[in-house]
Amino acid sequence: MAMKSYRISRMEQYIIDKEHVSMDELCREFDISINTCRMDVAELCSKGTVKKVYGGVSSVKENSLIPFEQRKMTNSNIKKEICREAAEMVEDGDIIFIDSGSTTMYLPDFLGDKKNVTIITHNLNAIVRGIQLPDTQIFCLPGTLDRRTNSFVTADTAKTLSRFNIKKAFIASAGISENGDVSNSSPLEFEVKKAAMAHASKKYLVVDSSKFGKSSLLNFTTLAEMDGIFTDDAIDRKTVLYCEQNKVHLYTACRGK
C-alpha cells in the first residue's frame, strides 16, 4: 500500500509538471499495466488534481504553480516585515517548523536574538539563512529539490516531519478562499503541510495579503484551525471579520514601512 501511495503521488506530480500526458506514457514511466494506470488515474481524478481528456490525462491548469523566483520578487519588502512580526512568537528553546514559501523564507533573518532555537525545514532559502545563526540548530527534512518551490520534498518528507515534536509551525499558502479554506499547489507539499498542522502545538499562517480571495489546487486546512495569522494591513475586511468570529489572532505588518 505504501508503494502504491508513493507511485500515485509521483504520478500526480508528473502529470502536473507535464500538463498533459498519454496513458501509454504513464504506463512506461511508472512501469505499470494499463489497468493499474486507469485505477491510479481514476483515484487522482476523484481528488480533482487531474482530469481525463481525449488522448490522455491533463493537470488542472488554473492551479499551476508560479515559479519560485518570480514569487520571491513579488512584495519582498512587506514579506520581510510580516516575518519580523512572526518572529516575535519565537521564544528561546523553541522547536519550530518553517514551511516552504516566498514569505516564510525570511523568518530566520529575525531570529538572531533567540537562544537555543531548533529549526525544522525543507525550505532551501530558510536553511541558507538559518546557517547564519550560531545559536540555532537546523534539521533539514529529506527530499529532492523542487525548483518551483525551492524546497526538498518526496513522498517520505511528511513522514519524517511527523516524528518531531514541533512547538510552533509557520505555514505558507498559495491561496486562501473567501470561506477560509487554506490551499496550496503541490501534492507533495500538501502532505508536508498536513503533517506540520497535525504535529505542531501552535500553528501560524504566514502570507502576504495578495493570497487572500484566491483558491489553489488542494485545501489543507482552514483559517479557523490556525492559532494566528501573520499578514499585512491590506488584508480585506471580510477576512478580518472571519478571524474575529473564529477567535483567530490576526497580526498585520504595515505596508508603509
- Kindly indicate the confidence band of residue 2, based on its pLDDT and cuts at 50, 70 and 90: low
Average pLDDT for residues 31-39, to the nearest whole number?
Answer: 92
- Are 156 and 10 contacting, i.e. CB atoms less than 8 angstroms apart? no
For 154-193, write each residue's pLDDT tens digit.
889 999 999 999 999 999 999 998 889 999 988 889 999 9
Instruction: Determine if the pTM surpasses 0.85.
Output: no
100 vs 14, higher pLDDT: 100
Residues of the chain above pLDDT 70, percent: 91
- Are 82 and 253 contacting, i.e. CB atoms less than 8 angstroms apart? yes
Q: Domains in the chain, ordered, with CATH?
A: 2-62 (1.10.10.10), 68-253 (3.40.50.1360)
Average pLDDT for residues 135-139, to the nearest whole number?
Answer: 95
How many Å apart are CA 143 and CA 162, to the nearest integer? 15
* Residue keyed to cell 521564544: 91
Q: Phi/psi of residue 219, each to 5°?
A: -80, 125
Return the DSSP state at 217.
Answer: S
- Kindly indicate the confidence band of residue 27, based on its pLDDT and cuts at 50, 70 and 90: very high
Residue spans of beta strands (DSSP E) within 100-199: 117-121, 136-140, 144-146, 151-153, 166-171, 175-176, 181-184
What integer pLDDT is reported at residue 11 of this predicted model?
A: 86
All three cell numbers of 109: 533573518
Average pLDDT for residues 198-223, to the nearest whole number?
Answer: 92
For 41-91, write each residue's pLDDT tens digit.
998 888 777 888 877 898 875 444 555 444 444 568 899 999 999 999 999
What integer pLDDT is reported at residue 68 of this predicted model?
A: 47
Burial of residue 253 (CB within 10 Å: 0-12, 13-18, 19+) is buried
Residue 121 has pLDDT above 80, yes or no: yes
